[in-house]
Amino acid sequence: MKPEITIGVCVRNNASTIREAFKSILSQGFPPELIEIIVVVGNSEDDTLPLVNETLKNAETKSKVFCENKGLGSARQLVVNNAKGRYIVWVDGDMIITQGYVSKLSKLMEKHPNMGIIKGRQSLEPGQNLLATLEAHARVASKMVDYGSKKASSKVLGTSGCIYRTVAIKKAGGFDENLKGYCEDWDAEIRVRALGWSMSTTDAKYFDYERNRLTWKDLWRRYWLRGYYTHYFLHKKKGLLKHYRMFPFAGAAAGLIDSFKLFKLTGRKSVFLLPLPYFFKLNAWYVGFIHSHLANYEPNS
């Protein structure tokens, strides 16, 4: 029987979290004959690959495991190329989807045939430290927009926790395999939207690594890499991003605005600390962006 849903899992160095991720996938309650799992393991330096094979070995759900070292765009395209399901649900190796997550997103796709991409919502439950909690809250705030409006044309859903209509991403040309680290999702969303497909969010919840202990060093590295890889993407999509919005002080102002949104939602006074990590993250982003510019970064280098 042809699967209805393809679960796409692109992982790298996720040995400490991969078991929980697959446990949440395999316990969805979705008929195993209607689901397939496609895993792409990047150039991992830990035990991610053997743990993936061990976890899926006796699972009822059919699965395929690939290895690649060309980057995230290539990994996602491997999933698209091999997907047999009508929909692709993207789950990260450090992510947990709640019970019924796949079913809820697929039913929304059935109900709204104009939808190309729908994303669930990251949980607002506190993490193991304040920084982890603030970063998770920041991610929720960044998605509190109407993705059907013109104002949201530069907003990114991201792949994590998203369901893609397979025909939509294939007609859009799939993922750019030259985008190695970040922005492969942004690029794909632009092309899916250009074909007339709509995008939205729903309240189906997922958890990710922000529940764990996040350090300032982790946060710096993550946003440094985003800045580094965004440099090439902005050469491809000139004029897409206004640089003044990425200035650290602009980030602090955005953090203050998001603080009020989140306070109404959670009632937690700690959200008013958001301007600090926002300022910090955009400093890291700009350092990475400038480094890439000076290094004359090319996508195939």
Domain boundary among 214, 244, 274: 214
Residue 198 corresponds to which tokens in the numbers above? 């709509």
139 and 254 within one domain: no
227 and 190 within one domain: no
Q: Write out pLDDT tens, residues 186-229.
A: 999 999 999 999 999 998 999 886 556 789 999 999 999 999 99
114: part of which helix (H) or strand (E)?
none
Nearest to 6 by CA among 86, 72, 65: 86
36 φ, ψ (degrees, to nearest 5): -135, 150
Please spell the DSSP secondary structure of the chain, one letter per residue: ---SEEEEEEESS-TTTHHHHHHHHHTS---GGGEEEEEEE-S-SSSHHHHHHHHHTT-SSEEEEEE--S-HHHHHHHHHHH--SSEEEE--TTEEEPTTHHHHHHHHHHH-TTEEEEEEEE--S--SSHHHHHHHHHHHHHT-S-TTSGGGGG----STTEEEEHHHHHHTT---TT--SS-HHHHHHHHHHHTT-EEEEEEEEEEEGGGS---HHHHHHHHHHHHHHHHHHHHHSTTSS-GGGGSHHHHHHHHHHHHHHHHHHH--GGGGGTHHHHHHHHHHHHHHHHHHHHTT--TT-
Q: Write out pLDDT tens, residues 78-134.
A: 999 999 999 999 999 989 999 999 999 999 999 999 999 999 998 888 777 899 889
Percent of the chain with pLDDT over 90: 59
pLDDT of residue 301: 42
Average pLDDT over residues 268-278: 94
CA distances from 191 to 66, 93, 107, 196, 286 (A): 26, 26, 24, 9, 26
pLDDT of residue 298: 52
Contact between 144 and 261 (Cβ < 8 Å): yes
228 and 98 within one domain: no
Range of the domain at 54: 5-214
289 and 160 within one domain: no
123 and 82 within one domain: yes
Q: How many distinct structural domains can be found in the chain? A: 2
**Is the predicted pLDDT of residue 297 greater than 60, yes or no?**
no
265 and 117 within one domain: no
Domain boundary among 214, 231, 259: 214
105 and 39 within one domain: yes
293 and 173 within one domain: no
C-alpha to C-alpha distance for 164 and 116, rounded to whole angstroms: 6
Domain boundary among 165, 180, 214: 214
**Is the predicted pLDDT of residue 75 greater than 70, yes or no?**
yes
Of 48 and 243, which is predicted with more confidence? 48
233 and 120 within one domain: no
Average pLDDT of the chain, as a whole number: 89
101 and 120 within one domain: yes
